[in-house]
Chains A and B, each alone.
Chain A
Amino acid sequence: METAHGSVRVLYFARLREAFGTSGETMDLAPGLCTVADLRERLALRGGVWAEELAGSRVVRFAVNQTLCPPAHALSAGDEIAVFPPVTGG
C-alpha cells in the first residue's frame, strides 16, 4: 500500500483559534489522513474542545491553499489548510 509523505500546515481562525489555544500547527500526512474530512476526524479524536468543535454537526469551513474546499478534497504535502467557522464579514 502506498503511503502519503510529507506534512501540511494547519491554521485556525477566530473562535476555533481561541478554543484550541493555537493559531496553527504542522501535521504529518499519514495513511488515513488523505482528505479534508480525514483531517477533521483526526483533530476531533483529540477530545475536549477539539471534539466539541469538530466531532458534531457544527458547521466548519476548510480552505486548502486559500481556497474554500469540500470535505472530500484530497490533501497534498505542503498544503496550507485553514479551519474556521462560517465567515461573518461585511
Chain B
Amino acid sequence: MAVRVQREAFDIGAEIDRLRAGRTSVGAVASFMGVMRDFNDGSGVQSMVLEHYPGMTERALESIVAEAGERWPLIDTLVVHRVGELRPSDPIVLVVTLSAHREAALAACAFIMDFLKTRAPFWKKERTPAGERWVEARASDDRAADRWQEGDGA
C-alpha cells in the first residue's frame, strides 16, 4: 500500500510494472488515471494549480486505501496525486489496484477514486481566459461516494 503526493509527472506503465514485479499471484490489475482537461464548466482552461493540505492529504489517502483493503481482497494498491501547476493533458492522479480477480481490482479502484474526490484535501484553481477561479465541488461526486454506503447496514 503506497500513497504519494508529488509535483513531478508519473509514468503509468512504469508504476504498474514496479507494483506488480515478482507477484505471481496477481491476476488482475485495475488502474485509473485522471488527466487535466482544457475545458471545464463551459470555458477553456489554460492551466491549473493544485493545492493540498500536507499531512492530512497523506493520512486521508492512506485511510481510503486501508478501507478499500478491508472491503476487497487486494494484493497491493498505489495512489499517486500531483500538486502544483499542471497543463492540459498532464496526468493528475493515478490509482492502481492489484488482486487475484478482476471484480475486487475494478471495484476497489472505483471506490478509491470516489472517496479521494470527496475526502482528500486537494483544491484546484483554474486559469481561464476570463481569469483565475477555484473549481467548485460537484454534487455528482458526493453521490458517487455515497453509493458505496448503500446496503452497508451501518
Give me the interface of A with B, judged by CB distance under 8 Å.
11, 13-15, 59, 63, 66-68, 82, 84-90
Contacts and interface: CB of A to CB of B under 8 A. Distances in A.
B123 interface: yes
A56 to B, nearest CB: 15
A36 to B, nearest CB: 15
Interface in B18-71: 34, 50-53, 55-56, 59-60
Contact of A14 (B60, B119, B125): B125
B117 A84 contact: no
Contacts of B56: 63, 66-67, 82
A67, A82, A88, A89 — most chain B CB neighbours (10 Å) = A89
A26 B52 CA distance: 20
Interface of B: 34, 50-53, 55-56, 59-60, 81, 92-93, 113, 116-125, 134-137
A84 B56 CA distance: 12
B153 to A, nearest CB: 21
Contact of B53 (A59, A63, A86, A88): A63
B120 A88 contact: no
B125 A86 contact: no
Contacts of A88: 122-124, 134-137
A66 B122 contact: no
- Residue in B56, B92, B93, B135 whose Cβ sees the most chain A Cβ within 10 Å: B56
Interface centre among B117, B118, B121 (most CB of A within 10 A): B121
A89 B53 contact: no
A68 to B, nearest CB: 7
B123 A13 contact: yes
Contacts of B50: 89
